[in-house]
Structure 1
Amino acid sequence: MANEANTQNQPDGRFQAIISHCKEYGFIFPSSEIYDGLQAVYDYGQWGSELKRNIRDYWWNSMTRLHDNIVGIDAAIFMHPTTWKASGHVDNFNDPMIDNKDSKKRYRVDHLIEGNAAELKAAGDEAKSDALIADMEALIAKDDFPGLKTLIETNKIKCAVSGTCNWTDIRQFNLMFATEFGSTVSSDGEDNKVYLRPETAQGIFVNFLNVQKSGRMKIPFGIAQIGKAFRNEIVARQFIFRMREFEQMEMQFFIRPGTQKEWYEKWKQTRLDWHLSLGFPADKYRFHDHVKLAHYADAACDIEFEFPIGFKELEGIHSRTDFDLRQHQEYSKKKMQYFDNDLDPATGKPFGNYIPYVIETSIGLDRMFLAVMSQAYTEEDLSTEEKKDERVVLKFPPKLAPIKLAILPLVKKDGLPEIARQLMDECKTSFYTFYEEKDTIGKRYRRMDALGTPFCVTIDQQTKEDGTVTIRHRDSMVQERVAMNQVREIVWKAIQ
């Protein structure tokens, strides 16, 4: 049985190995690399775009196909600027930041303190690390910026560049990108100012009544959306984990006021079950309740995943109350109410008009990509007494794998490529099928392992004699002989 190699036991080493693998095998490239790139901006390559699309489709189908009361929309990135005033983003979408006076490097305060806590934990002082995080969270909850600076100075937290503790005061930094809309600009630039949306949720809220009325939707119901969002992060870092341009998969679930606690707990479990359906270990996930709630929420938690860089937020579940719809009603002067003709058991009369409450589920598609890649990446030692050998394999859930089936003629002659092409034609309309005839069969197997392909089929001389092929299973490397006309069904069952 293969053993995992010891070379990637260190989290940083494993994370760097994943980043290198992503570039070498066409999953992710630094954007504009020929011009030395752009910080924290990445392009998805030929296999990364396939994996990303498969994750996107899996989420979309689980929301809009498996729930008869959830529908999808695709709202524009640009929205009327008053949208963001109403939502609170203009006034409240800020992060506390601090600069080191010597290096001029800017840090997000929570990241700076969390980094120091991680160093303490790595050094074996877990109690001090936990206490530091607890103190930080308590101060953030009170917006106590002087207290946060004192915490940084008391713990002698240094700048990674200058090595000094010479810090500025902490101040707020708005995260929205602004630009001008149209061909003319007013003297102050305000009349034509628009924002690149920092979240997809507001596109759902402003379309609440459009969807409800046109779809004759009855509460409770949800609206799902996948799309790009943009945040001018102070420190974008850790590969695709935190970027300034990213993709969100969000669902806003509209409910009757007073039922939010029940629905909040239900969606927490539903979303965790979705993650576990991919077959990842349950101990890779945990819930983290928010200490400081956003201005719109009465309850909030994160589903955290254990990345190579530690447990980090993967998905958020928020009870947003009626804040967003009420704000848009106030700023637009348009009613955002729903008439509920179900009978109230307490009065025997219809519930009547009200502004619905909302439960939100929000997951970063790029972070989900990184979670899938992190869990899949495996280095295995295949050495025997006779020779040293190893492989890198991406153990993707078959339904998410970019390539589902690789078809490999043993040699490039004797009619084997023609048979392989025939099988490919039979399969490629059902799932992504890849043809490869270059290099030895062993090298081709290794390349398909590195791309996460769950099945490889080899066409050989025996295929011409009895119509059978060798099918190889990625994770076990077990090979078996099957009829060629069974290949499509075998793969199809595995990816459902």
Structure 2
Amino acid sequence: MPADRIDAVASLAHRRGFAFPSGEVYGGQPVAWDYGPLGVELKEHVRRQWWRTVVQHRDDVVGLDAAVIQPRPVFTASGLLDTYTQTRVRCRACDLTQPLDRIVEAFTVRREQPAAALAELACPSCGSRGSFTDPQRVNGLLEVSPDRPGPPDRYYLRPEAAPGTFVNFANVMIAARKKPPFGIAQVGRVFRNVVGPGEFLLRSHERERMELEYFVEPGTDDDWLEYWAQRRWEWYVDLGLAPQQLRRTEMPLAGLPQHAKRIVEIEFQLGGAYQEFVVLEGITNRADYDLTAHAKHSGADLSYFDQDRGERWVPYAIEPAADLTATVFALLLAAYDEDEAPNTKGGVDKRTVLRLDPRIAPVKVAVLPLSRNADLSPKARDLGAALRRRWMVEFDDSQAIGRRYRRQDEIGTPYCVTVDFGTLTDDAVTVRDRDTMAQQRVSLDQVERYLLERLPTG
């Protein structure tokens, strides 16, 4: 296993088309990434698994897709305009800008005592001391200026999906004919003008989040938070993250933002040279803060009338909010493995393999004719076309079969189907399993059934 697992995964991701630095032909951006052909598929599969678990498989959750651009009053009411800020310092020696709290935290952990002054702090990039500029407080919201009729106003890109959910609470509750407890789910992009530590996909101003606002009766909120914290932990384990790679933490009361009564976080340990944890999801008890705030600022009624009790009350919101970007990164990191595979010379070669759960593997099946023989290729292409009706299939007839197996292992393809010269006489193909490398002869007319028993179809 490489000493720097993150660098190995980042290299593989770039080489095989999972992700590229945004604007790479102009030198790339350190704060944005473009997802390539395989990355698009992986991210979509993870998103789909979340949606199925949180929305499709439940009768108490519905979906919403709110606008990414929201007017200033939405963020004023939610408190984000005033509180979503970050204090930064810039090192004059190397020109690196960093959040002050991260530098102070690293110093405190290393020295086991707080720093007395900014001059004591060393730059994490170049090690210089006394080189920081005065701290500067920066708004974490990204402002945009859309051309619109009417009086001028200020608009912002959302840093989270939650505001759009809260302002649509009454609309959704009435239209979907729901009553608490029920949830509204969103998946989409968020934008944050913050500088933070992170490697590879984690270092980005543009992220995707999978958020649920689950509205409950006051007094039942603590139980519902525990319920969702457990369900969300199980979801990560089910998708392939080992329990020993995860930890559950509770944010101290003193550090809670103004909208939160309690926050539980699910974190993933990076491992290797990076022993820190990255937050995959926060499960927040937002109480009635948001609905009350938006009702006050807008004048709208965002309460619920309980007909059974003849009472009106404002629901509490339990928010499981997952970072899709961080989840994709964690799944790639956890799936990356190196082992040995036999070669045609009787020896063994090092093999890189992504042991992704078949549900999220970008390519489900690879169809590989043994050669570009005029008799083999048509059969292989026909088989690929038939399987493509159900799954993402890759056809590859370039180079030796061993190299093609290695390529598919490296991108996490669960099964390879080889069409060889025996196929011309017995109408059978060889199906190879990614993880075990075991091979099985399967009749052509049974290949689809064989794979149906082992692969998801959605």
Shared fold per TM-score greater than 0.5: yes
Letter aligned with residue 297 of structure 1: A
**Aligned positions of 1:392-411 closer than 5 A:** 392-411=352-371
Q: 2:337 aligns with which of 378, 383, 386?
A: 378
Mapped pair 1:160 → 2:125: yes
**Contact 1:181–1:192, Cα closer than 8 Å, also in 2:** no
Rounded Cα–Cα distance in structure 1 between residues aligned with 2:351 and 2:118: 44
**Contact 2:304–2:312, Cα closer than 8 Å, also in 1:** yes
Letter aligned with residue 367 of structure 1: A
Rounded Cα–Cα distance in structure 1 between residues aligned with 2:108 and 2:440: 51
Taking only the aligned residue pairs, the percentage that are identical comes to 34
Other-structure match for 1:59: 50
Rounded Cα–Cα distance in structure 2 between residues aligned with 1:468 and 1:200: 51
Shift of 1:480: 1.3
Shift of 1:489: 2.6
Letter aligned with residue 363 of structure 2: I
Rounded Cα–Cα distance in structure 2 between residues aligned with 1:444 and 1:104: 45
TM-score (structure 1 length as normaliser): 0.86
Other-structure match for 1:286: 247
Structure 1 residues without counterparts, runs of 5 or longer: 121-127, 136-148, 343-349
**Aligned positions of 1:51-450 closer than 5 A:** 51-116=42-107, 120=110, 131=112, 150=116, 156-161=121-126, 163-182=128-147, 191-235=152-196, 237-291=198-252, 292-308=255-271, 309=274, 310-342=276-308, 350=309, 352-382=311-341, 387=347, 389-450=349-410
Helix, strand or coil: the match of 2:103? helix
Rounded Cα–Cα distance in structure 2 between residues aligned with 1:294 and 1:282: 28
CA deviation vs aligned residue, 1:77-124 (integer Å, no higher than 9, x gap): 111210000010111111232333554532212322444567x4xxxx
CA deviation vs aligned residue, 1:201-233 (integer Å, no higher than 9, x gap): 111111111110011002100000011110011
Shift of 1:55: 0.6
Shift of 1:258: 1.1
CA deviation vs aligned residue, 1:336-360 (integer Å, no higher than 9, x gap): 1111223xxxxxxx05211110000
Equivalences, count: 450
CA deviation vs aligned residue, 1:183-209 (integer Å, no higher than 9, x gap): 6898xxxx3321011111111111111
TM superposition outliers: structure 1 runs of 4+ over 3 Å: 99-105, 113-118, 151-154, 156-159, 165-171, 183-186, 381-388
Shift of 1:412: 1.5
Rounded Cα–Cα distance in structure 2 between residues aligned with 1:303 and 1:495: 28
Rounded Cα–Cα distance in structure 1 between residues aligned with 2:451 and 2:105: 44
Rounded Cα–Cα distance in structure 2 between residues aligned with 1:487 and 1:168: 65
CA deviation vs aligned residue, 1:348-381 (integer Å, no higher than 9, x gap): xx05211110000111111111011001111224
Rounded Cα–Cα distance in structure 2 between residues aligned with 1:184 and 1:235: 37
- Of 33-42 and 205-214, more deviation after overlay is shown by 33-42
Helix, strand or coil: the match of 2:189? strand
Rounded Cα–Cα distance in structure 2 between residues aligned with 1:88 and 1:415: 68
Rounded Cα–Cα distance in structure 2 between residues aligned with 1:370 and 1:416: 38
Letter aligned with residue 201 of structure 1: A
Rounded Cα–Cα distance in structure 2 between residues aligned with 1:416 and 1:104: 59
CA deviation vs aligned residue, 1:16-62 (integer Å, no higher than 9, x gap): 11111111001101111111122221100011111111111111111
Shift of 1:150: 2.2
Letter aligned with residue 180 of structure 1: S
Counterparts in 2 of 1:104 and 1:46: CA distance versus 1, 3 Å: closer
Rounded Cα–Cα distance in structure 1 between residues aligned with 2:212 and 2:37: 28
Other-structure match for 1:14: 5
Letter aligned with residue 34 of structure 1: V
Rounded Cα–Cα distance in structure 1 between residues aligned with 2:441 and 2:117: 65
Q: 1:27 aligns with which of 2, 15, 18?
A: 18
**Contact 2:240–2:356, Cα closer than 8 Å, also in 1:** no
**Contact 1:198–1:229, Cα closer than 8 Å, also in 2:** yes
Rounded Cα–Cα distance in structure 2 between residues aligned with 1:404 and 1:175: 40
Helix, strand or coil: the match of 2:213? strand
Letter aligned with residue 217 of structure 2: R
Other-structure match for 1:145: none
Letter aligned with residue 440 of structure 1: A
- Of 382-391 and 252-261, more deviation after overlay is shown by 382-391
Other-structure match for 1:42: 33
Rounded Cα–Cα distance in structure 1 between residues aligned with 2:81 and 2:260: 17
Rounded Cα–Cα distance in structure 2 between residues aligned with 1:251 and 1:301: 15
Letter aligned with residue 337 of structure 1: S
**Contact 1:103–1:162, Cα closer than 8 Å, also in 2:** no
Q: 1:483 aligns with which of 424, 437, 443?
A: 443
Helix, strand or coil: the match of 1:461? coil
**Contact 1:229–1:245, Cα closer than 8 Å, also in 2:** yes
TM-score (structure 2 length as normaliser): 0.93
**Contact 1:469–1:482, Cα closer than 8 Å, also in 2:** yes
Helix, strand or coil: the match of 1:495? coil
Other-structure match for 1:464: 424
Other-structure match for 1:143: none
Helix, strand or coil: the match of 1:233? coil
Letter aligned with residue 195 of structure 1: Y
